[in-house]
Structure 1
């Protein structure tokens, strides 16, 4: 079982400086702007998809992973939150920065038990 699909998303928190919100928006962008129908194609249950979620943002420790996990309707998820993304300081130099986070969803399935189709 190896990676079969990689989906990407970008999320922002424009005013609140909320790293979890930006990361959740990045995850949702990767999920809902793209159609992940790998399970159906491979003949396995959606719940059997293994999804490695990698998040990049300036303050990785500020991301609440349990909030991100709730965004997934199915699949077995794991999370890595690391330094990346971008904080954009406001022109006036005060207040929260605009936070940008990136998400990569690396999707795998174990299709070894899938019966071969007759050709």
Structure 2
């Protein structure tokens, strides 16, 4: 059986003055995971090393996102980060562009024995 998605969190972040897509993406990821607690690992006596974390960030210019630095900042599991076209650039009349990023953080575990998920 394939691994099972156990967690999905969404977040939003921005960079108001530097037009830094990586900074906006990092803030979106932080927003997504900031309110999460993962008691499942202690409950099942399972290491967080068993978890694969898949992050998708949406920004207007995905090629300007340093995905390796974002993956390195994730606190648990084996992380993969993908930057895709999305988010929003907001032109400020003062002359700067505000970068808005969205993020989806998903956590997957191998199948566990002794309990099952509902369909």
TM range (shorter): 0.7 to 0.9
- 5+ unaligned residues in a row in structure 1: which ranges? none
Q: How many angstroms does 1:23 deviate by? A: 0.2
| CA-atom RMSD in angstroms | 1.7
Count of residue pairs brought into register by the alignment: 113
Alignment of 1:24-103 (within 5 A): 24-92=26-94, 94-95=95-96, 97-103=97-103
Tell me whether 69-78 or 79-88 shows the greater mean CA deviation: 69-78
Q: How many angstroms does 1:43 deviate by? A: 3.3
- 5+ unaligned residues in a row in structure 2: which ranges? none
Closer/same/farther in 2, CA of residues 57 and 36 from structure 1, 3 Å limit: farther
Q: How many angstroms does 1:73 deviate by? A: 1.6
Establish whether residue 110 from structure 1 lines up as the match of residue 98 from structure 2.
no
TM-score (structure 2 length as normaliser): 0.85
Closer/same/farther in 2, CA of residues 68 and 37 from structure 1, 3 Å limit: farther
Cα separation, 1, equivalents of 2:73 and 2:29: 8
Cα separation, 1, equivalents of 2:76 and 2:7: 16
Runs of 4+ in structure 1 off by over 6 angstroms are none
